[in-house]
């Protein structure tokens, strides 16, 4: 069960483009689709309410396009999404459409991206042909802060993102933009933020998404480390205030663990079962690279969205010299202490071998 | 000026309050169904007005109403009111004759439901000749007869037809439909899950009306009231039970506080929607006195049938071999998921655990829930806290788990004899470590499991807790693990305030304190001074529910 080498992974990446109502998803999509590198991309649009209005704005050729018009992604899309992706794959395989290089799913503004990720992770029919390309979340610079404050759905879209794209930045001052970026960094400290000006988007936005799961964990652990370290340095005088952010972020926060000693996989898997059973709903995103006692030189890569976990993939070798287990959590209303305590109690992990990046850095 | 006088005053009583801060009083005053004064005569004198009813207890003992933490109410009432009753010792001929008498009186197209035939009759009934005899006396009425295990049914050809069954019908999973070995024709015998086919047909035929359900429930509650019970937890509340309780409550006819445990999966002995579908309906069945606040999960079976899950194997068995330990029917992760779901919804979980391995698993699952979710005010129950591994005793208190003591089997019984057969005598006798649980700080709550025990009389259970000897005089001289006996004061707590805490009603019932419901019982003796061996003879003279008489001994 080695993970496919990303360069040889021929599966079609599926990118989820999400973002709150009016945050500029459609504009971004239009710009992206004009780029030659996206020839062979299919777009699945999910509409909420009035069917097909947004889709008329998208300048794309017909065959690139599939519209799901059954309403909200969060509750009803699963079966349709499976069928749509299979149909796209079939059409391109038999030559009815050009070869499929990439799929972009544009969600409704209110959508929770998690069920789409679940579908992509858990449907055996899909996992052979498609892989998750990542979640790109648009946040509009004008209304973003207010939207995040008011709508937990928006905060969740940001929390589960792999990439944040801030739109409409030309309409706000640098100060306002800076404030929003600061806020997003608290909500999603592991995620890279990209600023779009005048609707222009980097050409490689989709390409830069994490195809390599191991590198991804390493990268986000490092980012989290930096973020935690920053907070750590901030100290007692720092009044930008965690409580304030907690209130406005709907309890969403992130933290990570580094575990020095190898992990007993059976016990760890049991812990995963428990955490999924009791805290699944609030475990927005979980990523990990694990050094197991059984095969310490071939790390396991873990990826979970709420209660659904990817089958763990074993790598042939560690991606870097750092061979410690690293776990990254993006959660809602789960205390770091709860995770630490239960890891010790149920995953047979020695309390002394657990550290957070902040502690490790101190 | 509003009337400040009490509606009801009790004087000259020996009133045992079950309030540790004030164990005894001689007078109680009640207004609006609530206790407003607990004290002596002088304390209530000023509250007596012209409209006040004064009850002179003449030295009789009064205490709070009993809280039964585990009962199944509907079935008993239905059987009493609407069914043909015959004893399991009844012969085939008697059974046929009784059905004939009933059929002659029954309206056309109606059901005749009866029970319970002895399961030793099964081979005789499972034949075409027997079915022909049943059909002959049925006069075209629909007939269903239950056996004494409640697992199997015998029905006539009319009932088979209404259920859409014929020789070509396949057997259901975990059950079978009786057939003639030569022709394959159906005999009317419905084994295990096949019983559900007929029970569902009856339910769908509209045989049980809401009026009948309410009447059956009211009859069962009246029976409980006669033993001094004024609050209970229905331990497998299907939709008709929830509806009946709510219906009675809305009509002001519910004469006890009812807490309901909705089954997570359809039980083997009751039929209809269960689990999330049922739980989703709970608010529509909530009433002032009707509280669907629990979920029931069956984790294993029973020791006598070798279906309970134990750490050590059962005795050797020709089919199951040397080393069978039984098994749990829900995995630990599934159980954890259920507990997590229920805690989110604010529901307690009552987990049926008959074997010590099931108890361990339930405690393990609750331990996981506590570790992730932190402390909770919800009470989860282990029913029936009977066979418990020594290492698990302390975990009840540590995890805040209620030990549901039911049914009354903490003395020698025929059940225990069955356990000796399947578990060996030494292990069978390590049954109900009540005193150990108590010493470890567990909350012990008393229940009848009626009609599993044919009689819900708590005084039988209370005597048994104190003596560990069978109160009926059966098994003379024998006692069960007498070291686990507890004193009468503790036994009274177990059946009142402890059960009230366990079902989430401690602010309302379980003791005689100001502000609590005036659920009061008058006894024919002072049970704290009664010889232990006579406790089961205790009679309730009057039962008051919210200051109203709901039972009076004739």
ipTM comes to 0.81
Residues of B in contact with A338 (CB under 8 A): 371-372, 374
> Is B337 an 8 Å CB contact of chain A?
yes
Residues of A in contact with B370 (CB under 8 A): none
In terms of phi and psi (left: phi > 0; alpha: psi -120 to 50; beta: otherwise), the region of B23 is alpha
Contact flag A273-B371 (C-beta cutoff 8 Å): no
The tokens for A300 are 């396991």
Listed residue (B144, B285, B145, B275) closest to B214, CA to CA:
B285
Contact flag A342-B373 (C-beta cutoff 8 Å): no
Low-confidence ranges of chain B (pLDDT < 50): none
From A156's Cα to the closest Cα of chain B, the distance in A is: 20
User: What residues contact B88, with CB distance under 8 A and at least 6 apart?
Assistant: B116, B117, B118, B119, B147, B148
Residues of A in contact with B371 (CB under 8 A): 338, 341-342, 345-346
Could you give the 3-state DSSP secondary structure of residue B420?
Answer: helix
Question: A with B: how many residue pairs have Cβ under 8 Å apart?
Answer: 31
Radius of gyration of chain A from its Cα atoms, rounded to whole angstroms: 20
Domains of chain B, residue spans: 111-204, 210-545
CB B315 within 8 A of CB B421: yes
Encode pLDDT of A234-248 as tens digits: 333 334 434 434 445
Amino acid A217: pLDDT: 65
- Confidence (pTM): 0.83
The tokens for B453 are 């025990």
The tokens for B482 are 């007498």
Calpha distance A216→A220 (Å, rounded): 6
Q: Could you give phi then psi for residue B542, rounded to 5 degrees?
A: -145, 140
The 3-state secondary structure of B262-312 reads: EECCCCCCCCCCCHHHHHCCHHHHCCCCEEEEEEEEECCCCHHHCCCCCCC
Amino acid A226: pLDDT: 56
Distance (Å) of CA B46 to CA A300, B43, B129: 78, 7, 76
CB A203 within 8 A of CB A336: no
Calpha distance B234→B259 (Å, rounded): 6
Calpha distance B178→B125 (Å, rounded): 10
| Closest CB from B333, B339, B372 relative to A342 | B372
Predicted confidence band of residue A177 (pLDDT cuts 50, 70, 90) = very high
Amino acid A8: pLDDT: 60
Predicted confidence band of residue A4 (pLDDT cuts 50, 70, 90) = very low
A234-252 in b/e form (b: 16+ CB < 10 A) is eeeeeeeeeeeeeebbbeb
Mutate which of B341, B372, B395, B399 to test chain A, going by most A C-beta atoms within 10 A? B372
Burial of B179 from C-beta contacts in 10 A (0-12 / 13-18 / 19+): middle
Beta bridge partners of B186: B179
Could you give the 3-state DSSP secondary structure of residue B486?
Answer: coil
Amino acid B271: pLDDT: 81
Tell me how crowded residue A63 is: count the other CB atoms within 10 A of its CB. Answer: 13
What CATH number was assigned to the domain covering residues B111-204? 3.10.310.70
> Distance from CA of residue B296 to its chain's centroid?
12
> Is B73 an 8 Å CB contact of chain A?
no
Burial of B505 from C-beta contacts in 10 A (0-12 / 13-18 / 19+): buried
- Hey, which residues 361-390 in chain B have their CB within 8 Å of chain A? 368-369, 371-374
Eight-state DSSP code of residue B95: H
Q: Which of residues B448 and A187 earns the better pLDDT score? A: B448
Amino acid A351: pLDDT: 87
Listed residue (A29, A164, A155) closest to A102, CA to CA:
A29
Amino acid B150: pLDDT: 78
> Distance from CA of residue B150 to its chain's centroid?
15
Give the residue from chain A lying closest to B365, CA to CA: A274
| Closest CB from A277, A341, A345 relative to B336 | A277
Radius of gyration of chain B from its Cα atoms, rounded to whole angstroms: 24
Mutate which of A266, A277, A343 to test chain B, going by most B C-beta atoms within 10 A? A277
Encode pLDDT of B288-326 as tens digits: 999 999 999 999 988 988 889 999 999 998 888 888 999
CB A85 within 8 A of CB A126: yes
Q: What percentage of chain A reaches a pLDDT higher than 90?
A: 15
Q: Is pLDDT of A360 > 50?
A: no
Please give the order of strands across the beta sheet that includes B443-446: B66-71, B229-234, B257-263, B290-298, B348-352, B381-383, B402-405, B443-446
Distance (Å) of CA B390 to CA B328, B411, B440, B446: 20, 20, 11, 21
The tokens for B344 are 């989110």
Q: What percentage of chain A reaches a pLDDT higher than 70?
A: 72
User: What residues contact A32, with CB distance under 8 A and at least 6 apart?
Assistant: A38, A104, A201, A205, A206
Calpha distance A348→B102 (Å, rounded): 66
User: What residues contact B539, with CB distance under 8 A and at least 6 apart?
Assistant: B523, B524, B553
Length of chain A: 362
Distance (Å) of CA B210 to CA B111, B207, B216, B242: 16, 10, 10, 11
Predicted confidence band of residue A193 (pLDDT cuts 50, 70, 90) = confident
Amino acid A117: pLDDT: 83
Residues of A in contact with B339 (CB under 8 A): 278
Residues of B in contact with A279 (CB under 8 A): 372
> Distance from CA of residue B185 to its chain's centroid?
39
Calpha distance A72→A35 (Å, rounded): 29
Distance (Å) of CA B191 to CA A145, B116, B162, B184, B327: 65, 14, 18, 16, 22
Can you list the domains of chain A with their CATH numbers? Answer: 12-195 (3.40.50.300), 213-361 (3.30.1220.10)
The tokens for A230 are 């920053």
**Pairing outcome for strands A252-259 and A192-195:** unpaired
Contact flag A274-B337 (C-beta cutoff 8 Å): no
CB B297 within 8 A of CB B351: yes
Residues of B in contact with A277 (CB under 8 A): 333, 336-337, 340, 368
Encode pLDDT of A90-143 as tens digits: 888 888 877 888 888 888 777 778 878 888 887 778 888 888 888 889 998 888
CATH architecture for segment(s) B210-545:
Alpha-Beta Barrel (3.20)
The predicted model gives A57-76 an average pLDDT of: 45
Give the residue from chain A lying closest to B371, CA to CA: A342
Amino acid A272: pLDDT: 92
Distance (Å) of CA A190 to CA A20, A187, A216, A223, A235: 20, 9, 10, 5, 21
């Amino acid at each position: 069960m080695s993970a496919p080498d990303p360069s040889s992974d021929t599966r079609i990446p599926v990118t989820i483009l999400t973002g709150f109502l009016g945050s500029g998803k459609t504009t971004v999509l239009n710009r992206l689709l004009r780029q030659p590198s996206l020839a062979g991309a299919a777009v699945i649009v999910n509409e909420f309410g009035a069917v097909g209005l947004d889709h008329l704005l998208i300048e794309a050729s017909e065959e690139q396009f599939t519209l799901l018009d059954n309403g909200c992604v969060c509750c009803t899309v699963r079966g349709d999404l499976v069928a749509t992706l299979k149909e796209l794959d079939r059409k391109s395989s038999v030559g009815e459409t050009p070869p499929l290089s990439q799929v972009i799913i544009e969600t409704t503004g209110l959508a929770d991206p998690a069920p789409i990720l679940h579908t992509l992770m858990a449907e055996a029919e899909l996992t052979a042909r498609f892989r998750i390309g990542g979640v790109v979340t648009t946040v509009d610079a004008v209304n973003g802060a207010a939207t995040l404050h008011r709508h937990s759905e928006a905060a969740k879209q940001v929390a589960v993102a792999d990439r944040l794209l801030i739109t409409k930045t030309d309409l706000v001052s640098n100060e306002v933009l800076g404030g929003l970026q600061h806020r997003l960094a608290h909500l999603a400290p592991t995620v890279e933020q990209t600023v779009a000006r005048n609707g222009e988007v980097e050409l490689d936005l989709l390409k830069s998404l994490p195809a390599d799961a191991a590198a991804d964990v390493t990268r986000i652990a490092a980012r989290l480390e930096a973020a935690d370290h920053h907070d750590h340095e901030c100290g007692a005088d720092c009044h930008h205030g965690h409580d304030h952010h907690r209130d406005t972020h709907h309890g969403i926060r992130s933290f990570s663990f580094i575990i020095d000693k190898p992990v007993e996989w059976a016990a760890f898997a049991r812990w995963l079962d428990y955490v999924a059973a009791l805290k699944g709903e609030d475990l927005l995103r979980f990523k990990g690279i694990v050094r197991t006692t059984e095969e310490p030189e071939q790390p396991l890569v873990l990826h979970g969205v709420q209660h659904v976990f990817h089958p763990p993939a074993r790598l042939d070798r560690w991606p870097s010299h750092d061979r410690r287990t690293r776990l990254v959590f993006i959660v809602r209303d789960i205390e770091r202490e709860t995770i630490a305590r239960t890891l010790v109690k149920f995953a047979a992990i020695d309390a002394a071998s657990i550290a957070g990046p902040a502690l490790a850095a101190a | 000026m509003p009337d400040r006088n009490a509606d009801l005053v009790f004087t000259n009583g020996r009133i045992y309050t079950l309030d540790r801060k004030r164990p005894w009083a001689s007078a109680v005053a009640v207004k609006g169904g609530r206790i407003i004064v607990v004290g002596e005569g002088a304390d209530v004198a000023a509250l007596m007005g012209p409209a006040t009813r004064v009850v002179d207890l003449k030295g009789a003992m009064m205490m709070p109403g009993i809280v039964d933490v585990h009962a199944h109410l509907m079935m008993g009432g239905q059987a009493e009111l609407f069914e043909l009753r015959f004893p399991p010792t009844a012969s085939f001929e008697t059974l046929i004759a009784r059905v004939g008498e009933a059929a002659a009186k029954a309206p056309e197209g109606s059901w005749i439901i009866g029970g319970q035939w002895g399961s030793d009759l099964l081979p005789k009934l499972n034949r075409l000749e027997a079915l022909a005899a049943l059909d002959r006396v049925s006069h075209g009425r629909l007939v269903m007869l239950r056996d004494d295990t409640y697992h199997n049914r015998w029905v006539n050809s009319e009932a088979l037809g209404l259920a859409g069954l014929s020789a070509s019908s396949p057997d259901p999973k975990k059950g079978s439909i009786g057939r003639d070995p030569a022709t394959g024709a159906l005999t009317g015998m419905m084994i295990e899950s096949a019983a559900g086919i007929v029970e569902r047909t009856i339910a769908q035929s509209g045989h049980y009306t809401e009026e009948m359900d309410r009447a059956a429930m009211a009859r069962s509650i009246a029976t409980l009231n006669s033993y001094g019970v004024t609050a209970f937890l229905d331990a497998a509340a299907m939709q008709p039970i929830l509806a009946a309780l709510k219906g009675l409550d809305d009509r002001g006819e519910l004469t006890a506080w009812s807490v309901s445990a909705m089954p997570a999966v359809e039980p083997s002995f009751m039929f209809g929607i269960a689990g999330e579908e049922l739980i989703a309906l709970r608010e529509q069945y909530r009433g002032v006195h009707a509280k669907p606040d629990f979920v029931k999960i069956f984790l294993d079976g029973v020791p006598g049938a070798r279906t309970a899950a134990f750490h050590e194997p059962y005795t050797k068995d020709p089919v199951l071999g040397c080393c069978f330990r039984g098994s749990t029917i829900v995995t630990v992760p599934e159980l954890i998921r259920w507990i997590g779901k229920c805690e989110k919804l604010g529901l307690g979980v009552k987990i049926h655990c008959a074997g010590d391995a099931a108890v361990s698993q339930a405690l393990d699952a609750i331990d996981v829930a506590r570790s992730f979710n932190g402390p909770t005010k919800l009470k989860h129950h282990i029913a029936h806290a009977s066979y418990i591994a020594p290492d698990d005793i302390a975990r009840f208190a540590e995890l805040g788990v209620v030990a549901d003591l039911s049914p009354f089997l903490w003395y020698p019984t025929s059940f225990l004899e069955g356990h000796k057969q399947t578990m060996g005598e030494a292990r069978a006798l390590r049954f109900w470590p009540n005193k150990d649980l108590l010493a470890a700080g567990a909350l012990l709550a008393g229940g009848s499991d009626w009609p599993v025990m044919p009689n819900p009389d708590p005084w039988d259970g209370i005597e048994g807790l104190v003596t560990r000897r069978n109160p009926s005089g059966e098994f003379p001289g024998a006692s069960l693990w007498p070291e686990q006996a507890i004193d009468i004061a503790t036994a009274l707590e177990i059946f009142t305030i402890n059960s009230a805490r366990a079902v989430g009603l401690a602010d309302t019932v379980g003791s005689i304190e100001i502000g609590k419901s005036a659920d009061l019982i008058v006894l024919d003796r002072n049970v704290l001074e009664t010889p232990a061996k006579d406790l089961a003879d205790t009679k309730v003279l009057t039962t008051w529910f919210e200051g109203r008489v709901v039972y009076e001994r004739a």
